[in-house]
């Protein structure tokens, strides 16, 4: 009870409901932790301690009066700053939107508020969720909680850093080419990009309409499943929203893996791209652990990783430029260099290339999902490299595209990043679990079994 930073959502929820922990006391402890340490990590773009304490006092009064709203009542959370919170700026970490005040809550914000959540603040992102860690923006980039000299992943960078650093137990991020799973793998936390359309994107600044997902970052698998239970659901006002039954994501936690068929998508990280030796070794060790837990392991193959990446890149660049064309024409100087250069690439993609990419996407999606006729879950890499130094632009450019997350934005499949240990230098490593559409509960089952059989969930960084 003395170290509030590492309490899980599940633990906090039980303590709050039983009145053994005060929401106000808990919120104050996390606020104090961030005030002490975040000047070195830049997880928060805009902390909101006044709102947090108001939310916490309200939650405490309601709980004391017996008006318990559920497992998120009194639990702190943060939002990537492309997600609207009414009457606060949504800046997308950019000068372009520096004075853009949200007029309404995003749907995910509405759900967290209605559940009695305690809002801790807006979290850093890469500019408009693209580009990379930039030092020419109005606010500095977030840094890795395990070593502040290193990259924390992105574009949901602050969400990864804040959860990994113990500033809050759960955060909302977004994922268009891997932007939830990348910071999860680099900050030693759990990140889920659910099936395309599972979580409403209304009230979220778009990057690429047909690839954008809203996702969850937490320190444990159970917490992640609990958060997805809260935010998933159909939204008739989001044209991409899936009218599909949701919920029950914690239902399979604790079930064993005996007889479960797990396919290893090895050619992504062993042939198509050569993963760093420590990354590859951690994946193979994780597969061995799943075997020991009773899973039946086989190797699966699909189109080359580069084919998926090219498809994602053409679609993303085209759709992102469509969003930004007016600003790029009128205010190009107000973008940071990395985002400006990346977004400008979309101006040179031909209509024929975009159409052909969407046609290829359908073929790749059908072929990939056919693999689940023979396996239940697929395991592959997330990042190909450990976190590099944040002040090395060449290393950031090199490693940023060396990943196997983008394929599952193309296919719309659920993808879950889970910690798998550390490099010899103490930097986090992660593995990616992928399933057929709407199989999130099964992914959580596998991830939970692995997490409980491994020591990583109990390891935390020492902050400066």
> Residue 105's Cα: distance from chain center in Å?
20
Per-residue pLDDT tens over the stretch 58-82: 999 999 999 999 999 999 999 999 9
CATH number for region 4-458: 3.90.1300.10
CA separation (Å) from 76 to 66, 138, 223?
20, 26, 12
Residue 2 pLDDT exceeds 60: no
Integer Cα distance of 20 and 360 in angstroms: 55
| Average pLDDT over all residues of the chain | 97
Per-residue pLDDT tens over the stretch 139-158: 999 999 999 999 999 999 99
Integer Cα distance of 170 and 105 in angstroms: 18
- Identify the pLDDT of residue 3: 86
Integer Cα distance of 308 and 305 in angstroms: 5
Q: How many residues does the chain have?
A: 464
Per-residue pLDDT tens over the stretch 220-234: 999 999 999 999 999
Strands 415-422 and 190-193, by their bridges, are antiparallel
32, 244 in Cβ contact below 8 A?
Answer: no
Integer Cα distance of 216 and 214 in angstroms: 7
One DSSP character per residue, 151-219 reads: ---SSSHHHHHHHHTTS-SEEEEEESSSTTHHHHHHHT-EEEE-STTSB--TTB--S-TTT-EEEEEES
Give 39: exposed, middle or buried? Use CB within 10 Å, 0-12, 13-18, 19+.
Answer: exposed
Question: Apex CA 200: angle with CA 195 and CA 205, to 5°?
Answer: 110
Per-residue pLDDT tens over the stretch 166-199: 999 999 999 999 999 999 999 999 999 999 999 9
Q: Which residues contact 277 (CB under 8 A, 6 or more apart)?
A: none
Share of the chain above pLDDT 90, in %: 99
Integer Cα distance of 254 and 250 in angstroms: 9
For the segment 370-374, the average pLDDT, to the nearest whole number, is 98
Residue 383 pLDDT exceeds 70: yes
- Identify the pLDDT of residue 1: 44
Integer Cα distance of 443 and 235 in angstroms: 24
- Identify the pLDDT of residue 375: 98
CA separation (Å) from 248 to 8, 236, 240, 307?
19, 21, 22, 34
Residue 126 pLDDT exceeds 70: yes
Residue 379 pLDDT exceeds 50: yes
Number of helices (H), then strands (E), belonging to the chain: the values are: 15, 11
Strands 296-299 and 261-264, by their bridges, are parallel
The residues carrying an active-site annotation are 80, 155, 179
Half-sphere exposure of 61 (CA within 13 A, CB side): 6
> Residue 283's Cα: distance from chain center in Å?
20
Residue 25 pLDDT exceeds 90: yes
CA separation (Å) from 41 to 142, 164, 369?
6, 11, 39
Integer Cα distance of 125 and 78 in angstroms: 12
Per-residue pLDDT tens over the stretch 407-463: 999 999 999 999 999 999 999 999 999 999 999 999 999 999 999 999 999 999 999
- Identify the pLDDT of residue 315: 98
């Amino acid at each position: 009870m003395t170290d509030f930073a590492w309490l899980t959502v599940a633990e906090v929820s039980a303590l709050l409901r039983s009145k053994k922990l005060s929401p106000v006391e808990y919120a104050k402890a996390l606020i104090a932790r961030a005030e002490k340490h975040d000047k070195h990590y830049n997880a928060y773009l805009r902390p909101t301690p006044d709102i947090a304490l108001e939310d916490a006092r309200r939650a405490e009064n309601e709980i004391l009066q017996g008006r318990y709203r559920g497992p998120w009542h009194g639990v702190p959370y943060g939002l990537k700053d492309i997600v609207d919170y009414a009457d606060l700026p949504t800046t997308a970490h950019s000068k372009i939107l520096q004075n853009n005040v949200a007029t309404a809550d995003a749907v995910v914000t509405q759900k967290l508020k209605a559940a009695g959540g305690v809002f801790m603040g807006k979290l850093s992102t890469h500019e408009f969720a693209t580009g990379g860690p930039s030092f020419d923006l109005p606010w500095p980039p977030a840094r890795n909680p395990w070593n502040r000299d290193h990259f924390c992943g992105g574009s949901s960078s602050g969400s990864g850093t804040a959860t990994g650093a113990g500033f809050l137990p759960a955060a909302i991020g977004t994922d268009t080419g891997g932007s939830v799973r990348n910071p999860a793998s680099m900050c030693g936390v759990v990140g889920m990009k659910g099936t395309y359309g599972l979580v409403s994107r209304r009230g979220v600044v778009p990057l690429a309409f047909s690839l954008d997902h809203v996702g969850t970052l937490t320190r444990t698998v159970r917490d992640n499943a609990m958060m997805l239970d809260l935010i998933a659901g159909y939204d008739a006002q989001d044209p991409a929203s899936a009218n599909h039954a949701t919920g029950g994501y914690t239902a399979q936690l604790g079930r064993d893996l005996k007889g479960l068929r797990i396919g290893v998508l090895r050619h992504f990280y062993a042939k198509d791209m050569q993963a760093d030796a420590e990354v590859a070794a951690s994946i193979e060790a994780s597969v061995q652990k799943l075997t020991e837990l009773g899973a039946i392991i086989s190797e699966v193959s699909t189109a080359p990783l580069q084919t998926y990446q090219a498809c994602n890149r053409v679609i993303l660049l085209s759709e992102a430029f469509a969003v930004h064309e007016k600003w790029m024409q009128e205010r190009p100087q107000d973008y940071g260099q990395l985002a400006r250069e990346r977004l400008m690439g979309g101006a040179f993609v031909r209509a024929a290339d975009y159409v052909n990419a969407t046609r290829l996407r359908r073929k790749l999606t059908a072929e990939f999902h056919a693999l689940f006729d023979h396996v239940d879950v697929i395991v592959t890499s997330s990042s190909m490299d450990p976190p590099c130094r944040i002040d090395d632009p060449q290393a950031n450019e090199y490693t940023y595209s060396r990943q196997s997350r983008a394929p599952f934005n193309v296919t719309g499949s659920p993808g879950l990043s889970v910690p798998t240990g550390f490099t010899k230098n103490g930097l986090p490593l992660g593995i990616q679990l992928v399933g057929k559409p709407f199989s999130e509960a099964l992914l959580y089952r596998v991830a939970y079994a692995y997490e409980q059989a491994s020591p990583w969930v109990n390891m935390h960084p020492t902050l400066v």
